[in-house]
Structure formats: C-alpha cells, structure tokens
Structure 1
Amino acid sequence: MSADTTAPEVGTTTGGDPPGRRGGGFGLPTATALVIGSVIGTGVFGLPSALAAFGPISLVAFVLVTIGALALAMTFGALSNRLRGSGGPYVYARDAFGDFAGFLNAWCYWITAWAGNAAIVVALVGYVEVFVNTDHRVGWSIVIALAGLWIPALVNLSGLRNFAVTQVVSTVLKFVPLLFMATVGLLFVKADNFGAFNSSGTSAGAAVSAAAAIALFSYIGIETASVAAGRVREPGRNVGRATVLGTLGCAVVYVLGTLTVFGTVPNAALRDSTAPFTDSANAIFGGQWAGQAVAVAAVVSGLGALVGWTLVVGEMPMAAARDRLFPARFARTRGGVPHFGIVSSTVLASVLVVVSYTNFEQVFTTLVLLSVFTAVVPYLFSAAAQLYWLVVRGRAAHRAHLVRDCGISALALVFSFWALAGSGYQAVYYGVVCLLLGVPVYVWLKAGRHEYGEHPTAAGQR
C-alpha cells in the first residue's frame, strides 16, 4: 500500500473524485451486485422473526415499503444522473440546501452505516450459532460478532480488486438459495401457520406502520451505488440502472421469501426463532440438512453485505471530508482505500455490538430501528432535494415528464415521513440524540476554518 494521501481541501458539490477515476471503476454488474449485496444482508434472514409479532398484516407493510423503496430508488437514480460524484445523500442535500444540511446528512448516514453493520452482524451470529455456540452464550456470541465485523474490514483494506470479487461471488451465493425459498418454498405454505392476521394487539394502521419501520431495514442500501458513484464507470447511466435493478431483484425475493417463512413455520415458533429461514427449510424438507444449507447461505450473505457496507462507511465521510465538512483524517487513503473511515467505523460498530448484547433484550430489533431512523433522515433530504430542484429548475422539461418525476419524488418524501413516524418513540429518541450530537462537531469544523455561516469569504471581513 502507498503512503497516506490527503485530498485537496476544496469545497465542491461533487463530494468525491470524477467518475471512474479511481481503480478503473466498477461496471454495471458490480454496481448492481453492490446494491443487492448491501441490501440483502442477514436482515432478510432475521426479519420474519421480528415481523412475526404483528402477524401476516406485516406482509401488507412489506408491499407498501417495497413501493416506497422503488420510489426512492428512482429518485436516487435521477439525482445521481445530475450529480455524479461519490457521496450519495450527502451530496444531494448539500447541493440543494447548503453545508449544514449536507453535514447532517453525512453525519446521520455515517451512523446508519456502522450501526447497521452492528445489526447485520447480530443477525449473522444467529445463523453461525446453528453450527457453534448452539446454547447462545453471550460471551461467545460477542466474539463471533466481532469476527464478523473485522473480516469484511480486512477485505476492504486489502484493496478494491478483492472487494469487487468478494461482492460479486457472495451476491450470487446468497441470491440463489433465497430465490429458491421464494419460489419452490411457496408450494409448501400452509394457512394454519400464519396465525391471526393482526396479532399485534393494536389497530391495523398502527401495526402496518410499526411493521413497515422494521421492514424498511431490509431496503437500506438501495442508495449504495450512488454513494460510491465516483467508483462506477459511466455513472450517469449505470448508477440509476444498478439502483433500480437491484431494488427490484431484492423486492421479489423479500416479499415472496417472507411469505414462505410465514406459511411454513407456526407463528408462535417464529417469534422465538433466531434463524427463521433455517427453520422454514427444515419444515419444508425435514431433517437438518436443508436448514444448515440455508444457514450457510445466510452467513455468506451477511459477510457479503458487511463487505459492501464497510466500503460505504468509508466512502460517505471521505466525500464530506473532501468538502471540509468532516474531519480531514476521513479523506486520507492508502491504495485508494479510505482506511481511517473503515477502521474507526468498525471500532464503533464493535462497541455498539458489545453494549447491545449486554444491555438490550431485543438486540436485533433495537439496532434495526435505530438504523432505520438514521437512514430515513438522509432519504427524506434526498427526496426533498430532488423535488426542490424539479420545482425550481425543472420547468424546461416536458410537462408529462415533470409531473411524473414530481409525483415519484413526492411519494418518496411522504414514504420517508411515514417511516420516521413508524420507527417508534425509542428509536426516534435515540436517533435524534445521535443526530444532534453532530452539531458540536459541525461547530468545531467551522470554527477551525474561521467561518461563520455559509459564506467563508465574509468571515475575514468581520
């Protein structure tokens, strides 16, 4: 690896390098694999258990979330076609609303990335424990989780070539068994296993909103191609296509796969399951071999997702640091890899895993809801940025196209508000605290640059 290099401190709206500059860039297959690989982690493998408390009504929530996720995917595609640098939601918010909004989005999304990694690895542990630590001793669970966080970090630190190979291979290995469960598995569904349609004990509207907040976690990552757009060849064409194609592929597997699990595992057993897809496979085929095969796929899936998210957890703060809106160390690279961002974020995820295992009874659900809140804030700003641009500067477009694009952006914005409302009081409380912790960091960064407000040149005149 080469020595440390720090990018020039130039304020731009691109948030990163020119398209395809670094490492030759990813093509459409790798960009699509990044989306699918980041979206389909172990979340989908653990999600049926989290949704079982609501009953089959959560499938309605899943369909509605899928519609909202597709609206967001198309919004990200349009934004990346206009603003083609790395950084994703951070770049979009900064371009539309200024430095402070850009910083808050970068800060919030950065928390999403490493807190989401903690949630992914907790679900991964449940499937590793199909084979080892079957009595779920907390100490060994923590050790397995920490290994699951640091192996993907080492893959990323070893270079982009290893990342690309790992991402494509892991995506294929996990997508095939999930697709099998989402198709062949439907033949074994039994109505008796579903239980009460709404078993949440609340109204249908409240159950759908709460289930949707959890289901949204499954789609976090649809924006990863836009976050790493500076590494994608022909980003104006490939980022949008990869985002939509990846989201559609995930949607099919998610909805049908969850339906299969709900229909093959009794609701009461599903609520307590740590590996629901394994239990479903065992119920379909009998014995243990099928469930163990699914468990292996879940472990591969989790590691692949962690490899993708570990890249993202370095890319977002690096883009902000190059615009001088994150500490400068995040912009430093070795061999083109933002090593400080990767290592520091993995350390934070490791701490969160240890704290969660020792303090929270529902570890996975708690981490999921925190990640959903911190992800939806950048989603909301991105949808607002696209809608704002269309209203202010999109008048030259064909009227029918303008109406369509405004409708999609408005749907993505409403969906984001709905997801925030459904996150629950606890997630909103912790999420707002995490968000506002960024304000002192922003003050420190601005003070270090001797700036007040958004006009650096005016600072020296006072």
Structure 2
Amino acid sequence: MSSTKRSSGRAGPSAALGLPATSALVIGSIIGTGVFALPSALAPYGPISLVAFVVVTLGALALAGTFGALSKRTPASGGPYVYARETFGEFAGFLNAWSYWITAWAGNAAIAVAWVGYVEVFVNTGHRTWISVLIALTGLWIPAAVNLTGVRNTGAFQVVTIVLKFVPLLFMATLGLLFVDPDNFGAFNASGGSALGAISAAGAIALFSYLGLEAASVVASRVREPARNVPRATVYGTLACAVIYLLGTLAVFGTVSHGELLTSSAPFTDAANNIMGGTWAGDAVAVAAIVSGIGALNGWTMLCAEMPYAAARDGLFPAAFARLRGDKDVPVFGIVASTVLASLITVFSYTRFDDVFTRIVLLSVLTAVIPYLFSAAAQLYWLLVHGRARLDRRALARDATVAVLAMGFSYWSIQGSGYQTVYYGLFVLLLGLPVYVWLKRDDDVSARPGPAGSAAPDARAPETPQSPSGRRAVIPRSRGRAPLRHHD
C-alpha cells in the first residue's frame, strides 16, 4: 500500500503560475540549447533526418494530446508519475518517477554541454576540456540559484528568456529559408545504412528536442486552474515549438554545407554568418542561444525537484525530497541533489566520450520515453475501462487513436536509441530497485509472522501502513491503487 504524507503541516505549494507562465514553462523546457546543437547531431544521417523530425513531431503531438487529456482528469503535480501510480499501482509509479528524475538531471547535463558550444563562440575558442567543463558547471548552477529563490522568480525568469530565445529561431524559420542552397544538403542518407535504420536513429536524437512537453503536468499543483490551463499550455506550446523546429532545422541544413555541419559546435551561428556575412549575426544568435540554454535549464531544474517532490509526498521517494523551505515553497534538496548529479555526469562525459552531447541525449531520451509509454498506456486503460460510459463513439475513437499512436511512437523511440543506450538506461533504471525496497521496509508490518505460538493477525482487519519515516499515514486508495479522479 501507499503511504501518503507531507513533510509539514502546510497544505502544499502555492499555485503561482498562470496560463502565460505555464505556457512559457512548456515552451522554455522544450526549447533549450538542444535544438541549437541538433543540426550537427543529425548531420551524420543527412537530410533523411528531416523525415525523422517530421515523424517525431507527429509523435510529440500525440503525446501532448495524451498528457492534455490525462491532466484534465488528474490535475495534480507529478505528471507521468501520478498517471502510472493511479492506473498501475505504486511500484509502476515509483519506476516512472525514478526514470523521469534521471531524464531531468541527465537532460540538464546535455543542455549544458550544448550551451557550452555557444559560450565558446566568445571564450575558450581552443576548446580546452577543463575550461569547457567549468563553463558547463556554471550553466548548471546559475538556474539552480534562481530556483532556490522561489517559484515566482522561476516563472518570471522563464517568461523573459523565452522571448529572447525565439528571436534566432524565428529568424531561421522565416528569413533563413530564403537563403537555402540545395547543394548544401549533401547525400540524402549520409549514414550509408538502410533508410529505416537512419530514420529510427535520427528520430531517437530528434526526440530530445521535444522533451519537456509534459512540463505543465509535472508542476500542475503550482498552476492556477490546472484542469483548464495545463492541457492548453501543453498542446499549444508543443505546436508552437514544432513549427519553429522543423523550419529552423531545414534552414540550417540548407545554409551550412554538410561537411561544415558535421564538425560545427554552433550550427545556428554558422548559418547566420553564412546568410548575413561576417560574424555579427552569428554572435547575436550565439547570445540568444546562451540565454535560451539558461532558460531551459531554469525550467528543467524546477522539474528535477517537482517530480520527486510529488513522489516523496506519497512515500515513494526519499522523504528529503518532500521538504519545502520557508515561505518560498522550494524543495531545496531536490534542486541541489539533481544539480550535483548533472554536474557529475557532465564531468564524467567530458573525460570519457568525444561525442558528449549525443551520448547524454540518447540516455535522457530513453529514460523519458519510459514514463511517456506508461502515460499513454494509462490513457488507453482509462478509455477502455471508463471511457465507453463517459464518451461518445467519435470522441472515444479519436482519443484511443491518439493514445495508440503515442504508445507506438514510444516503442519506436526505444528501438531507435541503440543497444548500448538501452543497456545503460536499463541499468540506471534498475538501480531504483534497492531504493524502492528501502522505502517500503516498514510497510505491512501487521502482515509479518509473529513469534511462535502467537495468533496470526486477522486477515480481514484493515492495516495501518507506515510511511518510510515510521509515521502513521493516510490511505488514499486500497491495494496500492488510487482511484482515477475525474474532472468532467
């Protein structure tokens, strides 16, 4: 059984985010420095990766629709964790929270690595490793400091950075298309392998650009009118990003030669320089990309703390993650612990791998797709079990189709991640098992055998579960399953 608790007597965090700030969180979490580095990461596959981008965009929109529908029925913080726990039980909820938490801090490392490429347009142009590591660590800890000042400041910071990050992307997605030269694209399938294999591999990388579409659902308890604002922010934010992504990536592929793109650490800067001539345009794009990276890290640092915070309140994550600091409602431990882990994996990757960005991206994508898959399955479960009595046939067929597409897309993304990534991803996922055992060590005490000769506990008597801290806990559901809460 689950043990739902709170670390303090407060009613929980305040709902400080309106629709604009929530939409900014979604767009800001999706658009980071990852998209600014993505053309170079996709270059080894050639223009066929644009086909993969279209497929990924359709899958991302299916996921956005799924999260929008789920958040209407369950407008509580935790997003994928909550949906999995309520539908499949607390162990599934824990695995989703654990997997998503890995995605959040590992993804922050990938964003920081891409961010370094644009900072080094101005400093460390020789790309000395130890200076690159120092720059990356600076990029990780500045957003952590902002988050520690409170959710209102985090939201305001997100709105400001989102305006600045859109400038270069809008430029490339509009005016940049006028300068496309077909000769720059190179071989359509530069990988040399099968077209399907190239699309799958490129798609797994491209999916990183859409991680964060679920951001509003993860922080739902901090959103005003969550049943209304979370679905809108999720779907509209993903749509806006999809248009910018597709057109902007196409423009970069068409304005930077394939050979140059393979070695570029700042492809949007190179594209702007090729279009405008000189370096001033590229420098302006680099500044915007730097601001964009800080904004994305700001949003993802918040998600790093919010997912384990929601799970910890249910006794499914260490209790330290559920503690809020003072009147700021800040989960300090979650912010600091996640940033420390992101810093460690950044240092490790810089000293072990040449293709640092791609390696971390694939791990982040895999650990994100697992919660996506469970969320799509939770939506399909609800439709098949409850939806037939609540929805007309057309709405049921539409929602079921979207959920099936989201599930199929998730499976496809796992397959495209590659054997090595699946190996590492499965390993870090299974590292959560000892944590779960430790968290549940005090549960079901009444069911354990007593001393010889003592009477066995009455199996019909209700249990009083213990939280990980040993306190008596409130029982929100029976047999480890929470009832779905409908908001029709």
TM range (shorter): over 0.9
Q: Is 2:383 the partner of 1:383? A: no
Q: Is 2:333 the partner of 1:340? A: yes
> How many angstroms apart in 1 are the aligned matches of 2:168 and 2:283?
12
In structure 1, which of residues 447, 453, 459 is the aligned counterpart of residue 441 of structure 2?
447
> How many angstroms apart in 2 are the aligned matches of 1:208 and 1:272?
21
Q: Is 2:423 the partner of 1:429? A: yes
> How many angstroms apart in 2 are the aligned matches of 1:336 and 1:293?
37
How far apart are 1:156 and its partner, in Å? 0.3
How far apart are 1:205 and its partner, in Å? 0.3
Alignment-derived partner of residue 457 in structure 1: 463
Alignment-derived partner of residue 362 in structure 1: 355
Equivalent residue of 1:447, what SS?
A: coil
Alignment-derived partner of residue 145 in structure 2: 154
How far apart are 1:450 and its partner, in Å? 4.8
Alignment-derived partner of residue 230 in structure 1: 221
Please say if residues 444 and 463 of structure 2, whose CA atoms lie closer than 8 Å, have aligned partners that are also in contact: no
Alignment-derived partner of residue 394 in structure 1: 387
How far apart are 1:164 and its partner, in Å? 1.3
How far apart are 1:24 and its partner, in Å? 4.0
Alignment-derived partner of residue 61 in structure 2: 70
Equivalent residue of 1:201, what SS?
A: coil
Alignment-derived partner of residue 154 in structure 2: 163
**What are the ranges of 5 or more consecutive residues in structure 2 without an aligned counterpart?**
449-460, 467-488
The Cα offsets for residues 132-166 of structure 1, whole Å up to 9 and x where unpaired, read as 00000000001000000000000000112211111
The Cα offsets for residues 225-257 of structure 1, whole Å up to 9 and x where unpaired, read as 000000111111100000001100100110000
Alignment-derived partner of residue 265 in structure 1: 256
Equivalent residue of 1:369, what SS?
A: helix
Q: Is 2:301 the partner of 1:295? A: no
Give the TM-score normalised by the residue count of structure 1: 0.94
Alignment-derived partner of residue 404 in structure 1: 398
In angstroms, what is the RMSD of aligned CA positions?
1.8
Letter of the 1:352 partner, please give it. I
How far apart are 1:23 and its partner, in Å? 3.4
> How many angstroms apart in 2 are the aligned matches of 1:326 and 1:185?
47
Alignment-derived partner of residue 25 in structure 2: 34
Q: Is 2:295 the partner of 1:304? A: yes
> How many angstroms apart in 2 are the aligned matches of 1:37 and 1:352?
23
**What are the ranges of 5 or more consecutive residues in structure 1 without an aligned counterpart?**
1-7
Please say if residues 443 and 465 of structure 2, whose CA atoms lie closer than 8 Å, have aligned partners that are also in contact: no
Asked which structure has the greater CA Rg, the reply is 2
In structure 2, which of residues 329, 332, 344 is the aligned counterpart of residue 351 of structure 1?
344
In structure 1, which of residues 186, 190, 193 is the aligned counterpart of residue 181 of structure 2?
190
Equivalent residue of 2:186, what SS?
A: coil
The Cα offsets for residues 92-112 of structure 1, whole Å up to 9 and x where unpaired, read as 000100010000000000000
The Cα offsets for residues 48-70 of structure 1, whole Å up to 9 and x where unpaired, read as 00000000000000001000000
> How many angstroms apart in 2 are the aligned matches of 1:458 and 1:342?
32
The Cα offsets for residues 72-121 of structure 1, whole Å up to 9 and x where unpaired, read as 00000000000111000000000100010000000000000000000000
Please say if residues 79 and 219 of structure 2, whose CA atoms lie closer than 8 Å, have aligned partners that are also in contact: yes
Q: 1:239 to 1:456 in 2, by over 3 A?
A: farther
The Cα offsets for residues 335-390 of structure 1, whole Å up to 9 and x where unpaired, read as 20111000000000000000000001100000000000000000000000000110
Please say if residues 273 and 281 of structure 2, whose CA atoms lie closer than 8 Å, have aligned partners that are also in contact: yes
Alignment-derived partner of residue 172 in structure 1: 163
Q: How does 1:78-227 map to 2 (within 5 A)?
A: 78-227=69-218
Equivalent residue of 2:45, what SS?
A: coil
Alignment-derived partner of residue 408 in structure 2: 414
> How many angstroms apart in 1 are the aligned matches of 2:4 and 2:397?
36
Percent identical residues: 68
Equivalent residue of 1:457, what SS?
A: coil
